[in-house]
Amino acid sequence: MKRRKFLGLAAAAPVIVTSPWIARAQAKQKVTYAYLLDPVYDSVVWAIRKGKVKSDLIDIEATGANIPTLLQATATKQFDVVMTAVIGVPAAAARGLDLRILSAALYQSSVGEGGGVWVKKDSPIKQPTDLKGKSLASYGLRSTGYMYVREAMRKEFGLNMALEGGDVKQVEVVAPNLPAALATGQADAASLIHSQAFRAKASGEFVNICETGVIMNKHYGRTVSAVNVGYPERLAARTDAFKEFNRMMKESVEYALKNRDEVFPDLAKQANIDRAFFDWWFDKTTEVPGTFTAAHAKAVTTGWEIGKNFDMIKEVPDVAKLTWEHAIRALGQIAE
C-alpha cells in the first residue's frame, strides 16, 4: 500500500539542565494521525506540513491511507487519532473497542452536492426508480457515505435499498475502478467518489440522475460521514497534546480556505486535477469543521439511527458519552 507521510514540524532535541530555576526545554511530543488518502484531505493538513500552523508542544505525523487500512488501524490502535466512518464508532464499541470523538471530519455542505448517482449519458436510466432490477456500484456498501445514498433513495423514491433482496442490485467495486465499471457497462450506475464525480461532470460522458446530499439535507439536515477519533486512555494520559492536535487541525483547514490561491494549485499539481475541484469540494460538497458542536452531535445520532434501520448496527448509543470532553464545541472556542 502506498502511503504519503509527513511530519508537520521537526522535533526539537531535548536539552538537559541542572538548575531547577532554569526553564527546561522539552522534546515535543508526537501525535500520529491517519486520514483518508484523498487530494482534498491533503489540503486539510497542508498548512501543518508546510509549517504554516505550528506548535511548541507537538509534532503531527499524518499518514494518508485507504478505507480498509483505516479500519484496520483503528482496531489495532496503530495511530493516536484516526479519521473513521461515523457508523464505525458504535460498531467498534460493540466489538469492545472504546473510541472518543474529537471532531467532525466530513460534514455535508448545505448545497448538498457530491453524493450523486451517475449513469452513462446514453443510458436508458433517467431517474432512480429506473434502477429497479439494475446494478448500482459503490466503493463501500457498508460505508457511511453510501449508507446516506441508500437512505436518500429509499426516502425520496420509495426504493427498497436493502443490500440483499432489495430493488437494486448493489455491488462493491474498488474505488479506482468505479469509472471503468460504469463506462464499460459492468455496472448500470455508480456512486462515485468526489474526485471521480468532478471529472465525470467535466467530461460530459456521464449524467447525474440523483443528488442524494440534497435529498438528505431536505429530510434530515446536514449529515456527518466521518469523525476524528482517539482512545480514552491516550487522551487522558496526554490531554494537552490532543487539545493542541485539535487546535492545529482546525487552524490548518482555516488556513487552506483563507489562502486558496496558495494551497489549491500546489495540491492540484500533485493530484493532476483542476484546482477548481478543491473550490467545488469545499464550497458545494463538504466542510471540515475541526469542531464537534451540538449540530454535529445531532447529525451523528441521525446517522446512527439510519444505520440501525439498515441493520448496520444494533443499538444507537448516547453520542455525549462517546465524545471527548475537551472537543472544541463551537467556532472560535478552544476547549478548556
Of 164, 193, 220, the position where a domain reaches its end is 220
Which grid coordinates belong to 201?
A: 461532470
pLDDT value, residue 259:
98
Question: Could you tell me which of 184, 125, 173 has the C-alpha nearest to residue 153?
Answer: 125
Please report whether residue 192 resides in a domain: yes
Residue 70 pLDDT level (bands cut at 50, 70, 90):
confident
| Residue 14: predicted pLDDT | 37
- Residue 246 grid cell: 485539535
Asked whether residue 200 is domain-assigned, the answer is: yes
Q: Which of 270, 275, 152 is nearest to 211 (CA)?
A: 152
pLDDT at 269: 95
Strand ranges for the chain from DSSP E: 4-7, 29-36, 58-65, 81-85, 100-108, 116-120, 135-138, 169-172, 189-191, 206-211, 224-230, 286-287
Average pLDDT over residues 29-48: 94
Residues 278 and 137 in one domain: no
pLDDT of 19 reads 33
The type of residue at 92 is: A
Residues 58 and 102 occupy one common structural domain: yes
The predicted pLDDT at position 66 comes to 84
Residue 17 confidence (pLDDT) above 60: no
Q: Are the CB atoms for 234 and 80 separated by under 8 Å?
A: yes
Segment 6-32 mean pLDDT = 48
Summarised one tens digit per residue, pLDDT across range 163-221 is: 999 999 999 999 889 999 999 999 999 999 999 999 999 999 999 999 999 999 999 99
Residues 55 and 66 in one domain: yes
Last residue of a domain, one of 171, 189, 220: 220
- pLDDT, residue 2, reads 40
Mean pLDDT of 54-79: 92
Q: Is the pLDDT of residue 121 over 80?
A: yes
User: In sequence order, what are the beta bridge partners of 172?
Assistant: 138
What residues does 85 pair with on adjacent strands? 226
Domain with residue 216: its CATH number is: 3.40.190.10
**Of the candidates 91, 97, 57, which has an alpha carbon nearest to the alpha carbon of residue 304?**
91
Q: What is the pLDDT of residue 27?
A: 86
Averaged over 223-249, what is the pLDDT? 98
Cα(320)–Cα(325) distance, integer angstroms = 9
Residue 332 lies in a domain: no
What's the confidence (pLDDT) of residue 5?
Answer: 36
In this structure, is residue 41 part of a structural domain?
yes
Give the model's pLDDT for residue 159: 98
Q: What is the mean pLDDT of residues 146-171?
A: 98
Mean pLDDT, rounded, of the chain = 90
User: Would you tell me the crossing angle of helices 260-271 and 39-49 to the nearest 10 degrees?
Assistant: 130
| Pair 145, 133 in one domain | yes
| Span 104-116, pLDDT tens digits | 999 999 999 999 9
Q: Quickly state the pLDDT bin for 26 (edges 50, 70, 90).
A: low
97 & 234 share domain: yes
The DSSP symbol for 215 reads H
Residue 329 lies in a domain: no
120 shares its domain with 205: yes
Range of the domain at 127: 116-220
Mean pLDDT of 278-302: 97
Q: What is the pLDDT of residue 154?
A: 98
Number of domains observed in the structure of the chain: 2
Output the pLDDT for position 330: 66
Checking if the pLDDT of 11 tops 70, the result is no
Q: Is the pLDDT of residue 9 over 80?
A: no
Query: Of the candidates 220, 255, 288, which is a domain's last residue?
Result: 220
Classify residue 323 by its DSSP letter.
B
Q: Which pLDDT value is given to residue 38?
A: 86
Residues 314 and 232 in one domain: yes
Q: Please indicate, yes or no, if residue 330 is contained in any of the structural domains.
A: no
Q: What is the pLDDT of residue 39?
A: 87
The reply to whether 167 and 206 lie within a common domain is yes
Judgement on whether residues 215 and 149 belong to the same structural domain of the protein: yes
**Complete DSSP assignment for 33-54:** EEEE--HHHHHHHHHHHTTSS-
Looking at the structure, tell me whether residues 53 and 187 fall in a common domain: no
Q: What is the reported pLDDT for 336?
A: 39
Looking at per-residue pLDDT, the higher value among 23 and 275 belongs to: 275
